[in-house]
C-alpha cells in the first residue's frame, strides 16, 4: 500500500483573528494547489481514497484534488487534525478496512503531524529531519505484512516548486 501525505496549501495567516480550524486557503494557496494537483494528474497519480483533516484549509485542499479527478472518494478523519496519533489512525481506521497491497491513499493534513507520521513509519521515531512545504507531498510504501511502524519506505518527497 502507498500512502501519500499531502500538506494543505497556503492558508490565511494565524494573526488575522480567525479560529485555527476555520482558516481558509488564500487565493495564492488555491492557485498553487490547483497547479500541483494538475501536475499529479499528468504524472498519472490516482488515489483510491483521499482522507482529509476536518479543518477548513485541509478540506479545501482535498476538494481541489477531487475536482482535478485525482480520486472520486473523499472522507474526513479527526485523526488528521492537529496532534493526531498515527498509532490511533492505524488501529481505528486503517487496520479495520483491510485494503489491498496496491491501494493508494492520500492523507491531507498539517505540519508537523505529517512529517512526524512519515518518520514514525520509516524509522519508528520522530527525528524532525523531514520538511514538508505547503502543498508538498511525501510518498510512503507500507510493508505487505506486519506493523508498518519503522518498517515503511519513503519513495517520494516533493516540494511544490518541483511540481510547478
Could you tell me the residue ranges of all domains in the chain?
2-12+28-140+151-162
pLDDT the model gives residue 97: 84
Instruction: In whole angstroms, give the CA distance from residue 158 to residue 41.
Output: 15
Q: What is the mean pLDDT of residues 122-130?
A: 96
| Residue 147: C-alpha distances to residues 57, 122, 124, 143 (Å) | 31, 11, 10, 8
Please report, for residues 7, 24, 76, the alpha-carbon distance to residue 58 in angstroms, rounded to integers and kept in the order given.
Answer: 8, 8, 10
Residue 112 has pLDDT above 90, yes or no: yes
Q: Is 129 left (phi over 0), alpha (psi -120 to 50) or beta?
A: alpha
Residue 151 annotated as binding site:
no
Q: What is the mean pLDDT of residues 71-94?
A: 92
Q: How many helices (H) and strands (E) does the chain have?
A: 5, 6
Task: Give the model's pLDDT for residue 2.
Answer: 96
Rounded Cα–Cα distance for residues 106 and 3 (Å) = 6
pLDDT per residue over 35-82, tens digit each? 999 999 999 999 999 999 999 999 999 999 999 999 999 999 999 998
Helix (H) or strand (E) holding 105: strand 104-109
pLDDT of the residue at 139:
98
CATH class as words, domain 2-12+28-140+151-162: alpha beta
Going from the C-alpha of 94 to that of each of 89, 147, 162, the distances in angstroms are: 6, 11, 30
Average pLDDT over residues 143-159: 95
Amino acid at each position: 500500500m502507498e500512502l501519500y501525505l499531502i500538506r494543505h496549501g497556503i492558508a490565511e495567516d494565524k494573526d488575522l483573528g480567525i479560529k485555527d480550524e476555520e482558516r481558509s486557503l488564500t487565493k495564492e494557496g488555491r492557485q498553487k494547489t490547483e497547479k500541483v494537483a494538475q501536475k499529479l494528474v499528468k504524472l498519472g497519480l490516482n488515489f483510491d481514497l483521499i482522507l482529509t483533516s476536518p479543518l477548513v484549509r485541509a478540506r479545501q485542499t482535498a476538494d481541489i484534488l477531487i475536482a482535478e479527478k485525482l480520486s472520486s472518494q473523499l472522507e474526513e478523519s479527526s485523526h488528521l487534525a492537529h496532534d493526531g496519533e498515527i498509532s490511533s489512525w492505524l488501529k481505528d481506521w486503517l487496520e479495520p478496512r483491510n485494503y489491498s497491497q496496491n491501494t493508494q491513499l492520500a492523507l491531507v493534513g498539517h505540519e508537523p503531524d505529517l512529517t512526524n507520521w512519515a518518520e514514525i513509519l520509516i524509522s519508528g521515531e520522530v527525528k524532525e529531519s523531514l520538511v514538508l512545504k505547503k502543498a508538498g507531498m511525501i510518498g510512503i510504501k507500507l510493508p505487505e505484512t506486519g506493523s508498518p511502524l519503522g518498517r515503511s519506505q519513503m519513495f517520494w518527497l516533493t516540494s511544490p516548486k518541483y511540481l510547478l
